[in-house]
């Protein structure tokens, strides 16, 4: 016999399950690095024609607002039914100790002001460093304090700041280091950003994703890794999701388990994409990228 309590609780449990299921879904987006040759307006208009709804901005907007207003840049988004979910800060040197950090922070503040005016809620910076840079254990302790400061700056503009680990960074190149330092920063506006390409082509381990806490991931860049020796891979060789050998479905399911329900932003650098027709590139990315997402059950 079914108890009265079971009858009363069942609808609540079903609602909770439905909420959890909805939270596991993700959306496809495009990073402006993918169509950099078309410029700020051209890339966004072309993507909109292909049905893209979520976009990630970069420094292309700077060239646009040299002759147009910030309000005009925002209208390009709204007129095309686009939501800017994140943007590249373009402020290298804000994490690791270095003599140019104060200048980099000034750049960061200007970028935060611009992107906040455009209506964004997230901004990020990769962990790029000079190839010959050398660091000590104390530098990582300093980085945690530096990231806390960055998070505090971002919070003043109501932005969440995210750190992207690059596979070739001499400072933070793995998901394990990324998670450790962003946690030690201890700021609610500071989160890790997972780039699928840097993750799978670099030194990270799949098990590193198990250490993510529910809701901890701030954003994701969604690319595939081509079937090449890892020694031949660099930042430009990333592939459209579905065209490579990375276990994308497995990664997506893991992120879903961790409660990630944001945008999967495709960022490509090969000339055939960057100089190609934005609408055609976006259509191919959408067809292939969403097919993988459907197989993983996150679309």
Domain edges within the chain? 25-235+248-287
Q: Is the pLDDT of residue 232 over 80?
A: yes
What does the pLDDT average to over 38-60? 98
User: How far is residue 215 CA from its own chain's centroid?
Assistant: 14
Q: Which residues of 210-226 are buried (b: 16+ CB within 10 A; e: fewer)?
A: eebeeeebbbbbbbbbb
CB of 162 within 8 A of CB of 147?
no
Fold classification of 25-235+248-287 is TIM Barrel (3.20.20)
147-175: pLDDT as tens digits: 999 999 999 999 999 999 999 999 999 99
Q: Residue 213's pLDDT is what?
A: 97
Nearest 10 degrees: Cα torsion 46, 50, 55, 60: -10
Cβ neighbours of residue 71 under 8 Å, at least 6 residues apart?
Answer: none
Q: Residue 269's pLDDT is what?
A: 97
262-289: pLDDT as tens digits: 999 999 999 999 999 999 999 999 999 9
The dihedral through the CA atoms of 90, 94, 96, 100 has a sign that is positive
Question: Order of strands across the sheet with 122-126?
Answer: 83-87, 54-57, 27-31, 263-266, 219-221, 190-195, 160-164, 122-126
Q: Residue 131's pLDDT is what?
A: 77
Q: Residue 132's pLDDT is what?
A: 84
Q: Is the pLDDT of residue 11 over 50?
A: no
**DSSP labels, 50-78:** TT--EEEE-THHHHHTTTS-HHHHHHHHH
pLDDT band at residue 36, thresholds of 50, 70 and 90? very high
Q: Write a three-state SS string for 123-138.
A: EEEECCCCCCCCCCHH
The pTM of the full predicted model, rounded to 2 decimals, is: 0.91
Percent of the chain scoring above 70 in pLDDT: 92
136-149: pLDDT as tens digits: 999 999 999 999 99
pLDDT band at residue 13, thresholds of 50, 70 and 90? very low
């Amino acid at each position: 016999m079914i108890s009265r309590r079971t009858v009363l609780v069942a609808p609540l449990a079903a609602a909770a399950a439905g909420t959890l299921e909805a939270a596991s879904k993700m959306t496809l987006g495009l990073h402006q690095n993918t169509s950099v040759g078309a410029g700020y307006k051209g890339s966004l208009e072309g993507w909109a024609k292909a049905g893209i709804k979520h976009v990630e901005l970069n420094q292309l907007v700077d060239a646009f607002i040299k002759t147009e207003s910030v309000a005009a840049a925002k209208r390009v988004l709204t007129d095309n039914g686009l939501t800017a979910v994140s943007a590249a800060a373009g402020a290298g040197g804000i994490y690791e100790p270095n003599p140019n950090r104060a200048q980099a922070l000034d750049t960061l503040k200007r970028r935060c002001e611009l992107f906040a005016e455009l209506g964004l809620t997230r901004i990020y910076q990769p962990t790029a460093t000079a190839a010959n840079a050398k660091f000590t254990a104390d530098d990582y302790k300093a980085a945690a304090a530096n990231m806390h400061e960055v998070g505090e700056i971002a919070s003043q503009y109501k932005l969440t700041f995210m750190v992207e680990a690059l596979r070739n960074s001499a400072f933070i190149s793995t998901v394990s280091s990324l998670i450790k330092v962003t946690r030690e920063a201890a700021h609610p506006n500071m989160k890790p950003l997972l780039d699928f390409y840097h993750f799978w082509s670099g030194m990270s381990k799949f098990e590193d994703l198990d250490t993510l806490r529910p809701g901890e991931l701030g954003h994701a860049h969604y690319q595939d890794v081509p079937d090449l020796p890892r020694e031949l891979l660099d930042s430009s060789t990333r592939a459209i999701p579905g065209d490579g050998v990375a276990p994308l479905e497995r990664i997506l399911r893991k992120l879903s388990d961790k409660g990630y329900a944001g945008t999967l932003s495709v960022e490509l650098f090969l000339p055939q994409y960057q100089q190609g027709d934005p609408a055609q590139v976006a259509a191919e990315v959408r067809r292939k990228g969403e097919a993988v997402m459907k197989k993983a059950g996150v679309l």
